[in-house]
A = this chain, B = another copy of it.
Amino acid sequence: MGKITARDVARAFGISKTTISFIVNGKSAEKGISPVLTEKVLGYMKEHGYRPNHFAKSLSTGKSMTIGLMVEKISDYFFSQLVYHLEELANRHGYQIIFCSTENNGARTRELIRLFRNQGVDGFIITPPEGIQAEIRSLQDDQLPFVLFDRYLPGIDADHVVLDNLESTRHAVQYLVERGARHIGYVELDSEQSQMRDRKAGYLQALGAIAGNPRIMRVPFNNGHDDTVTKIAAFIKHNPELDALFFATNYLAMSGMKAMFGLGIRIPQDMAVVSFDDHIVFDTYLPTITAVAQPIAVMAENLFGILISKIKQGPGQPPTRCVIPARLVIRDSTGPPV
Mark A residues whose CB is within 8 Å of B: 1-2, 51-56, 58-59, 64, 66, 73-77, 80-81, 83-84, 87, 91, 96-101, 114-115, 117-120, 138, 141-142, 225, 251, 254-255, 257-258, 261, 280-281, 283-286
Q: How far is the CB of A60 from chain B (nearest CB, A)?
A: 9
Measured between beta carbons, the chain B residues less than 8 angstroms from A281 are 254, 281, 284-285
In the complex, 20 of the A-B residue pairs with CB atoms within 8 angstroms, ordered by the A residue number, are A1-B138, A1-B142, A51-B117, A52-B118, A53-B59, A54-B119, A55-B58, A55-B59, A55-B64, A55-B120, A66-B119, A87-B101, A96-B115, A97-B99, A98-B98, A225-B283, A225-B284, A254-B284, A261-B285, A281-B285
Sample of 14 more A-B contacts, CB < 8 Å, known A251-B280, A257-B284, A281-B284:
A2-B142, A52-B118, A54-B118, A55-B59, A55-B64, A66-B98, A74-B83, A74-B87, A87-B100, A87-B101, A96-B100, A96-B115, A258-B283, A286-B286
Residues of B within 8 A of A119 (CB): 54, 66, 96
> Which residue of chain B lies nearest to A63 when distances are taken between CB atoms in the complex?
B55
- Residues of chain B with a CB closer than 8 A to A261's CB: 285-286
Of the candidates B73, B84, B91, B286, the one whose C-beta lies within 8 Å of that of A73 is B84
* Interchain CA distance A97-B70 in the complex, whole Å: 12
- Given A53-B120, A120-B55, A141 contacting B1 (CB threshold 8 A): yes
**B77 and A77 contacting across the interface, CB-CB below 8 Å:** yes
Contact check, B87 vs A81: say whether CB atoms are below 8 A apart: no
Measured CB to CB, the nearest residue on chain B to A226 is B283
The 9 closest A-B pairs by CB, nearest first: A75-B84, A80-B80, A285-B285, A55-B59, A55-B58, A281-B281, A75-B80, A254-B284, A55-B55
The distance in angstroms between the C-alpha atoms of A52 and B98, with both chains bound, is 19
A281 CA to B52 CA in the complex, in Å? 47
Kindly state the separation between the CA atoms of A99 and B97 in the bound complex, as whole angstroms. 7
How far apart are the CA atoms of A326 and B294 in the complex, in Å? 35
Q: Say yes or no: A257 contacts B283, CB within 8 Å.
A: no
Pair B99/A99 contact, Cβ less than 8 Å: yes
A53 to B303, CA, bound (A): 27
A120 CB contacts on chain B under 8 angstroms: 53-55
Residues of B within 8 A of A225 (CB): 280, 283-284
* A242 CB → nearest B CB, Å: 20
CB distance from A49 to the nearest CB of B (A): 9
Of the residues B59, B76, B251, contact of A56 by C-beta under 8 Å: B59
